[in-house]
Homo-oligomer: A and B are copies of this chain.
Amino acid sequence: MSTSTAPIAASSESKKPRLLVQKYGGTSVGTIERIQAVAQRVAAARQAGFHVVVVASAMSGETNRLLALGQKLSARPDPREMDALVATGEQVSVALLAIALNEIGVPARSFLGHQVRLRTDSSFMKARIRGIDAERLIETAREGIVPVVAGFQGIDDQGNTTTLGRGGSDTTAVAIAAALGQAVPCEIYTDVDGVYTADPNVCPTARKVKRISYEEMLELASLGAKVLQIRSVELAMKYAVPVHVRSSFSDAEGTWVVNEDESLESVVVAGVTSDKNEAKVTIRRVEDKPGRAAGLFEALAEARISVDMIIQNPSPDGSTDMTFTVSKGELAGAREIAGKVFQSHELFVREDVVKVSIVGLGMRSHAGVAAKMFRILADEGINIEAITTSEIKVSCLVAAKYHELAVRALHDGFGLGE
């Protein structure tokens, strides 16, 4: 720790290549030209002194093309075989990317799920990662070779190919960054250049966020902002992986998803988000007796239907209206079950609704945020059909026609455009 040796040590330390994971999504590797551009980007990171480990998705459109082939053969294709089928998409793009890298003088080698022993459970089409053998990747990177790992895929204990569900390559990338060591950053290249305070297509004054906490990102992801797969954010939070969401079409800084205490901006509300994929079911005048709600939601859970919002307002006459929301894809099933449980009751379904939400860590310490949200909506004459809250989120269901109006009013009302 003498002053004379410190600079030398620091200098040699700064020259030691650091590990970096870069994940490229489907549009980033969608054509031969885009793959060549990605290779140049990897080369630049290497030039900047990083040992890069690359994770790639299938070329855009490829996964859907493969799914369609399988679905032509069967209305309910075998999940194990669908995974074997769609996993080829990533295999093609990592091989092509490795070829492109070798071509410009960057030694590279593709790896599939079984080759890095990315182990998962056996839930085909939505498998969960159990572990990764990072040693082979670290060794390869240390040899100066760029490992290009197929995202989205793994193997189970029997050696079957599994896939991680839509957006699973994000999770692969974060899991690899976590396995490579402490605080290895993970760059997620996508077709948007970061996380915004609202959807820029809906709200023209939306602003790119420089830093956001894992918790806020989790709420935004689950609320319909399709930037990152939820499980990748959960994993990043668990292992404190710094995630950098950015565009492969520009060199601009994107959004860092980091620990709360590293988040520079301490704001009450970080963003406004909306989800058009919910539908509302109301059962009228249910006898307000214990067990009635339980009976319904148990039946829904048994059918694996996820319920989002639940409202129950007892009237003085001893009856109650029960309202809940589900995703539109599960509406038919939910309606059938509710009809069976409450055979003699009126059932109302509403699909022209949108869920508008505000998310922010600051809510935990600021009172009155929900009240302010309701006031902003009321001032625009927007009626609230249902409310749900978490520690760092408030969601309101409103008529679909108010979608843009509600998002813009909340965005401006909470001063997010400034």
| Interfacial residues, chain A to chain B (CB-CB below 8 A) | 32, 35-36, 66, 69-70, 72-74, 77-78, 80-82, 84-85, 87-88, 91-92, 94-96, 98-100, 102-103, 109-110, 112, 114-115, 159-161
Contacts and interface: CB of A to CB of B under 8 A. Distances in A.
A73 B99 contact: yes
A282 B133 CA distance: 59
Contacts of A82: 95, 99
13 contacts: A32-B73, A35-B73, A69-B92, A73-B99, A78-B102, A80-B110, A81-B99, A81-B109, A82-B95, A84-B91, A84-B95, A88-B88, A88-B95
A85 B95 contact: yes
A103 B74 contact: yes
A35 to B, nearest CB: 7
Contact of A78 (B66, B69, B80, B99): B99
Interface centre among A94, A99, A115, A159 (most CB of B within 10 A): A99
Contacts of A72: 32
Given A32-B73, A73-B32, A103-B74, A110 B84 contact: yes
Name the 8 nearest CB pairs between A and B, nearest first: A85-B95, A88-B88, A74-B103, A84-B95, A81-B98, A77-B99, A81-B95, A78-B102
Contact of A99 (B74, B100, B115, B161): B74
A189 B301 CA distance: 49
Given A91-B88, A114-B159, A159-B115, A96 B69 contact: yes
A35 B72 CA distance: 11
Contact of A36 (B32, B73, B81, B115): B73
A115 B161 CA distance: 9
A240 to B, nearest CB: 31
